[in-house]
Chain A
């Protein structure tokens, strides 16, 4: 209230300033929606929208890095044709799709199994639930380095425990499996904890009724638990697909795309084309193919999710 007295005692100029401030406040309130939304929109357009447009344009022109920008000429779909004629790119595209499908499936199966185990009502189970959060927060570069040291053929722990020197990252087939395995190790716990959240919201009375009706454990799982969990599993599927499709860190550290392009996923392909061969137009075309594939896959999955809702 002391504050009020002071402001009353102010000069005429102070009163005008306050009126002005109040007006400004009213104006700010009037513009509340644009003022609050604008920073987000500006950043998104400047840092994502504009670069995307730039790369779309670059994917339709012929231009090399040592030419001035105005010498770029429109060539239609030629970059895309070149891209699809490049066996390395096509191989990389299928490799990425296979890698994504395999790692995501494995993450979901392993995650589901872990979630069922963690859902049991036992003493000290909370400790296990919390401990399992750790791998998913680990910096991917550190996880990859850690596994690289573990899998070292001479001094690594894994080969010592298996009593046979296996060159995990040198063999083309094994390298891809190893790199994917590290990702499963890091991300299966995330799926597990997401599914666990679903399991814990499972209505207890339904399960009790099923037990009284004499349903076996397996029947209960198939006809009650699994349908109930399906939205959670679909979210896990969607999120993991998005993130496995862009796999980069673990591959870059462990194999850098080798041996003999055996782990050359799309992110690494675009990275190499952009920053080693400096073929900017081809890299832009590859980025857009990548973008369209991931968008199509995700929109398909989201549509599948929505279709399930009514029943």
Chain B
């Protein structure tokens, strides 16, 4: 009986223990979830944004896959160090708790103990691997990296112990205290040297001695440096091998060095001459400090190819080497063979196209050097030309035959031969597109796909276009989330091959949707600001174009150093998380710079009173800029820009007869701006500007205080519309005009208040705003200033401008740039009572006050031309019709302007380029005076240096029809020095 009880008790005990073990491990899979809780660092939180990322749902059966996906979402945020999911089953039901541990970053790193290296070196090593704020959880990894760095530098027994200390005084993340005991430094042990370099020389060069501290990094750098030195000294085959091995006692590192200087390598050429520059370029043995077999073979091939392009049809280049007295001479033996030129180029078989139409595709021309590669290029160009017209089976055969001998080139041994090139065209059948059909396109209707087709029924069938159309169809699918879609196009020709029916067979695959959009890395920028720029939205199909456009828009904000948009695949095949990672740029930016501007300016001098003369003057300038962006996380920004120029002052005759002359801060500008993007939830950016400036013109100086509000909308990535209101007060001073030549408006309003509204439309397709090589810039600008809105005078002003940039065909990067500018302005008539010196009305013969009608535009708003950015054959502002220039040659400006520019920009050497230009234009007093016959021209040339801040420019312009102005001939030539292209 007792035994039976004992057995029963044992059975119960066994069952209970087994049940306890099972229950502790069992997951309540399938049980309905009653509640979801989130703990962050041990505290319960209720964050809807986090809840959105959790796939576990109340009321649904618990699925471990949901928990896993939620972990992936949450970790994807990059905010958490660890995520755990627990299931708590009690009388209230099943609660799923997500336990999040914040990713804590180290607030500071402190080094203690015997560091061995400088603290900065250790800190830099941590910075390079973990960034400036390493996660606290990476302390052990940091220690590993430091141990590795110390080992590399000879502290092979170093111990590194990291410890996190809470910074209670300042709060925030912990301080990582790294205790370092570098231990004894490993020393250089035995040094074995083998090879042809003397031991002493080698050790001197490597600064290596037994018993000195062993620093692997520094030693390998010295080996590399010495190797380069040997190679640059002509020992292209020098070898230096270093093998470190710890000594038996572990206290030192023994070094085995194999050092062979190798012979001095010289390159010689024999046979036919090749220009020195070409040899240096094509046989880069000295430049690369190498003479291995591959380089020699490549050099041989490059020389032969070069000669073939020169018309030597069958060049032979070989190389050999000989070793004499430790000198390896590599000899390239060049045999150009006879030079061949193209004789006649008859074309036959072209029925559908005239010879003149084929000319652009025929790249071999009579008299040109005969180049085999040109034949292939011609064949391809002709076939393509015909294929575009539907001749898909076109056959072009190019044959050659010996032509008449061209005799012997002067002074050269090689005879010149001619080869006639026969081009035979077999056009065959012209095929047009018949029916276009789409098969298995359930998600995208035919009508949408037809819209993106380049091929349409009735148009010539062009096979490359078919490939483009396949890509276009594919893009439609990719933009609808069908990332795995595949498209095949099967053209079926009719029996006579005159028509082709095309069926696009589509395998759509699954449609992929955006599950969650995770935004990480934005500490200062609000998530809403980023979300506003995103075209990918949760629940929508994952569109390729939307991803690309989102990245572009985020980058365009200017708030981030780096923007990455990546897909995270998880769970089902049809869902993706989109992870938007941004790295914020510093909020405060400071810019300081300087430069110099040089040009001819017109000045009155006391030596020749009343007269003016032109001088070349340099004007140093400097600027300081400070900006703060992303204010309140909303991408708002404020900016303060100041600029000052030192300029020569015009001579002033003092009462005591002395002349006052000198340099001064004659020009300055202080500009404050506030930018508010996306005002009132629209796509319009607002810019509020306040400016204080003083500027020097040729015939007057002015100071201006202005305020401006601007609204700008980027209608498309290339087109912008801008509206603005501005209010300014401008004061003219140091006017140089003759009193009699001053316009009435300048006499009446030496200080004028202007209130104006303006609008601009701008289309900019340039590839680079500073130094474009392609694209166009077209702009229309209109402005109305009126007394009705607070100004003292009214006028209208229109300015049209267009610039185009094209890269010319050919291997050299030659750019053609052209531009046209047209300005038209007119004042609103205004009656003004004439005043005397005491500001009393002047009465007329009838006793009534004389009233003048003013309809000019104020001086500061009139057009001027001449100078480094307009017509470069003329001194700044000195171009104009006679009515716009006073007796002494000072420009008054006018109401109409035209400027035309054309320029060729070509590279010369490295960052230096040259330009040749033709400029033309003029300024007319009134719009009615505009006369194309009065347009004046100038030609010139210049140099460009492509600097990091933009092209530095020196131009020399020559006016084509020099005239007398102010009794003197116009200056010739005119020199300009500036930064940036002229237009």
The answer on A and B forming one complex is: no
Interface residues of A, Cβ cutoff 8 Å to B: none
